[in-house]
Amino acid sequence: MNIFYNNKGAITVFLVLLLVPSIVIVGAFIDFSRYHTAQQIVNGAGELALDSVLANYNSTLKKYYGLFAISNKEYFEGTINEYFIENLTVKANEFYSPFNLTPYSYEILNIDNANLANPLALKKQIVEHSKYKAPLEYGKDFLNTLNTLKDLPTEVTIYNNELELNEKLASLSLKYQTLYALMKVNDSFKIASINDFINEINDEFKTIAAKINTVNYLQTKLKKIDFEQENALELQETYQNRITEHLIDIKSLASKLITKREKLQEYYLNYQRYLDEISTICEQITRDYENIKIYVEVLKNEIQQLSQNCEKQTKIELHKLERRVTRNFGSLINKQFNFKIVSDYIKPNQTILTTYKSKLQAIRFDTFYNDKQLTYSLEYLKKLGINANTTIYSDSKYNSISTVAKTQYYKYYSASKTEVKELYDKLHSMYKDVAEKNEERALKKAQELFKKAIKEKLCNSPKGAKEIPQGIFNSFSSNTNISNYQTKYNNEIDFSKSIFGSISSLFQDISYNLRDNLYVNNYIKTMFTCATSKIGESCLNYSLSPKTNYLFGSEQEYLLFGNRNAMSNVLLSKSLIYSFRFVLNYKYALSNNNLLKLVKEIATVSAAFIPFSLPLIETTILTAIVATETALDLEDLMSGKEVVVFKTDQTWRLSINAIKRFFEGKSKVLNGKKINTSDLKMSYQDYLSLLLLVSHSDKQVTRISNLIELNISNILSKPQKPQDLKELSFKTINAKTAIKLKAEVILNLIFLPIPFVSNYVNSPNIKGLKIKYNSYRGY
């Protein structure tokens, strides 16, 4: 202890040794506290700056579509710096700042796909906008409609199979018609007259043979004349005269016989061709019959299998359908019985043909033998000085005659076959039209049948622009940067396939994805127009008109198909709805016994003139009736009315009396009936909503982006007419939904040793610790 007492200042030094480290440690803690507090201040300043910029959203976009985005890039890039510095620095009236934060650098970074051209970003905002309003808009009606339609795919599959069965039966009927035509050809052959003809030929052969025997006998007698007798010359002259008379008769009979033989040969060739053709068709009919029989069995098994998995009501429909299929098969068995009758009729003819063939061979042999005898006798007479030239049958002459006969036969047969084919094509054309769901041609057929200009009434012209100019169409943001997006265009409906399959798959996806799609569907319904829309208010209380909606009257159709031409999109939508309604109406028609009975009566009368064509005519008439009823439904839909989804006897408008009047040549078609208001109904807008829902995809959301570009540009440019718009003044790719700020701020140090701080900045103007800020904010 003496060391402390014997030296002056020892206590001071000791205290310094204790206090200096303490001061340094405390100072370091203070700087660390300042650093962490400054970080919070910088983060807060950055968030406030970003929020301040996001608050300056595009008011036009918000007013008309309820979406948030910044579209003025120069504005927010210049403003964000002011907001950031303002929130960092000390106010002028403050005497002290404990941090002295100085901005060192800042940068606005672009966030890939953070714009309304990105389907995911746009869909997210649409869902947020709609999720509180959409449930009220939908209510229960539309969802009940969807729930009702979800059982249709099973039934429609079976009805398609039934249509295929009817087509197979129609094809079989065509073969029966061809067989009938060939039987008419058989009548022209006149089999009984051919038998008489052959008998005549045989009789003439016998006459020729008798005369030849007489000539031979006279020649023998002539050789035995004794010229020493008194009357030898007289006998010689008598014998020669009789021989000459017989040879002249033989020559005449031989000439006739040759002609008849040629004609018989023609009969034989034609009849041989006829039976070959008949045999081929009979084989085809038998083969088709067996194929249809197998198809019916498969169809019945398929119905039974589907019936096991269906609800009660669906099972009832399937059992009805199974009975109809069985009834069709019973009708097919009747046709097979008719075919057997025809076959039984053909078999005797084949026996006759065999007889003809043997007779012809005999005639050929007899003719050859008698030709030789005739030639010998004529040569002998020539030696006696009698000029008896004859014409012997030549193969070349026979061949030429046969060729002519062959040509005439095929000419007749081709004409008959062409007539049958033309009739079949004429009857089958409408069935094919509807099977392919081609609205334009089906409507044209209905127009021809019932003499009403239905199609003209259905062509609602859009009230907005007729089409999107090619330059604007090419400049859509989705066309320029869609490859940058990581999403795929999935779940898009293939409109060439059945809509009902898409409805079925829709109900298999009971998830948040379906919920979001319903929200987007409701947004489309309230923000965009369709062919039946009228000028009115949107859900944001602004007027929907050609001034605000560039493609007014065809926007929802554009979302479905994406064509530049507005009318083309509307016609495609109508075609799809027509197909949808046709299937539903056909379902009812097949279950309406009174209607089927009437169709069968009309078809039976028509089939009297066209044998074996009953199934084909039944299908054609029923298809024509359903096509016309569907056209009437579409006419109501396009006028803004609602149409019942499932027809009943009370709601089916094409009356039985009207059908009878039509087929009797009278013109009036419709018979007005009251519709039960309790039936489930859908409007054109409801059908569009259904199609948009089942076909929802990223591509559809992208088309929403295109329409927003068009409409906002139309609002901002205020052209005299929609078609006067030349370029897009608003681009969704420039409508930012999020921004990112990267900044560095300098904090002046008080106690921390400078060499030990890694983020220390030592420049001529600024010295201190660097604080980094890197964050983004979005809507």
Shortest CA distance to 577 belongs to which of 510, 642, 525? 642
Residue 492, pLDDT above cutoff 50: no
Residue 509, CA distances (Å) to 66, 154, 494, 513, 730 in order: 28, 18, 18, 8, 36
**Residues 6+ away with beta carbon under 8 Å from 262:** 393, 397, 398, 401, 402
**Helices marked H in 436-508:** 439-450, 454-458, 470-474, 477-481, 499-507
pLDDT of residue 596: 77
Please tell me the distance from the alpha carbon of residue 419 to that of residue 434, in angstroms, as a whole number: 24
Q: How many CA atoms lie within 13 A of 141 on its CB side?
A: 13
Residue 711, pLDDT above cutoff 80: yes
pLDDT of residue 445: 46
pLDDT of residue 493: 40
Residue 497, pLDDT above cutoff 50: no
Shortest CA distance to 260 belongs to which of 192, 199, 212, 206? 199
Tens of pLDDT, residues 602-655? 777 665 555 555 666 777 777 788 888 888 888 888 888 888 888 877 788 776
Tens of pLDDT, residues 315-372? 666 666 666 656 555 555 555 555 555 555 555 555 555 555 555 555 444 444 444 4
Tens of pLDDT, residues 191-241? 556 666 666 766 777 777 777 777 777 777 767 776 666 677 777 777 777
Please tell me the distance from the alpha carbon of residue 155 to that of residue 302, in angstroms, as a whole number: 11
Rounded to 5 degrees, what angle do the CA atoms 517, 526, 54 make? 80
Beta strands in 24-123 (DSSP E): 101-109
Please tell me the distance from the alpha carbon of residue 205 to that of residue 360, in angstroms, as a whole number: 13
pLDDT of residue 391: 32
Residue at 769: amino acid letter: L
Q: What are the tokens at 166?
A: 């009817």
Residue with tokens 């005659």: 401
Residue at 318: amino acid letter: L
Is residue 441 within 8 A of residue 433, CB to CB? The reply is yes
Q: Which residue has the higher pLDDT, 523 or 598?
A: 523
Q: What are the tokens at 647?
A: 């027809």
Residue 452, CA distances (Å) to 57, 433, 599, 652 in order: 55, 19, 22, 18
- What proportion of the chain, given as a percentage, has pLDDT over 90? 1
Phi/psi of residue 537, nearest 5 degrees: -100, 150
The mean of the pLDDT values for the chain is 67
**Helices marked H in 309-390:** 312-383
Instruction: Give the pLDDT band of residue 277 (cuts 50, 70, 90).
Output: low
Rounded to 5 degrees, what angle do the CA atoms 269, 271, 275 make? 120
Assign residue 80 a region (left: φ > 0; alpha: ψ between -120 and 50; beta: otherwise).
Answer: alpha
Phi/psi of residue 562, nearest 5 degrees: 75, 20
pLDDT of residue 270: 66
Here the contacts of 192-198 (C-beta below 8 Å, separation 24 or greater) are 194/264, 194/267, 194/356, 197/260, 197/263, 197/264, 197/267, 198/264, 198/356, 198/359, 198/363
Shortest CA distance to 122 belongs to which of 424, 519, 643? 519
pLDDT of residue 94: 53
Residue 303, pLDDT above cutoff 50: yes
- DSSP letters for 579-611: HHHHHHHHHHHHH-HHHHHHHHHHHHHHHTTST
pLDDT of residue 619: 74
Is residue 510 within 8 A of residue 150, CB to CB? The reply is no
Please tell me the distance from the alpha carbon of residue 224 to that of residue 318, in angstroms, as a whole number: 100
Shortest CA distance to 465 belongs to which of 537, 526, 555? 555
Residue with tokens 């890197």: 774
DSSP for residue 392: -
pLDDT of residue 296: 64
Is residue 589 within 8 A of residue 625, CB to CB? The reply is yes
Residue 386, pLDDT above cutoff 50: no
- What proportion of the chain, given as a percentage, has pLDDT over 70? 46
Phi/psi of residue 744, nearest 5 degrees: -130, 135
Shortest CA distance to 779 belongs to which of 42, 41, 62, 46? 62
Please tell me the distance from the alpha carbon of residue 188 to that of residue 290, in angstroms, as a whole number: 32
255-269, 300-314, 486-500, 738-752: the lowest-pLDDT one: 486-500
pLDDT of residue 349: 52
Instruction: Give the pLDDT band of residue 580 (cuts 50, 70, 90).
Output: confident
Phi/psi of residue 528, nearest 5 degrees: -125, 155
Please tell me the distance from the alpha carbon of residue 314 to that of residue 154, in angstroms, as a whole number: 8
Please tell me the distance from the alpha carbon of residue 22 to that of residue 751, in angstroms, as a whole number: 12
pLDDT of residue 28: 75
Please tell me the distance from the alpha carbon of residue 187 to that of residue 85, in angstroms, as a whole number: 108
Beta strands in 69-157 (DSSP E): 101-109
Q: Once rounded to an integer, what is the mean pLDDT over residues 554-572?
A: 87
Helix axes 614-638, 566-591, angle to 10 degrees: 130
Q: Once rounded to an integer, what is the mean pLDDT over residues 112-127?
A: 87
Q: What are the tokens at 372?
A: 């030789």
pLDDT of residue 308: 60
Cα dihedral 445, 446, 449, 455 sign: negative
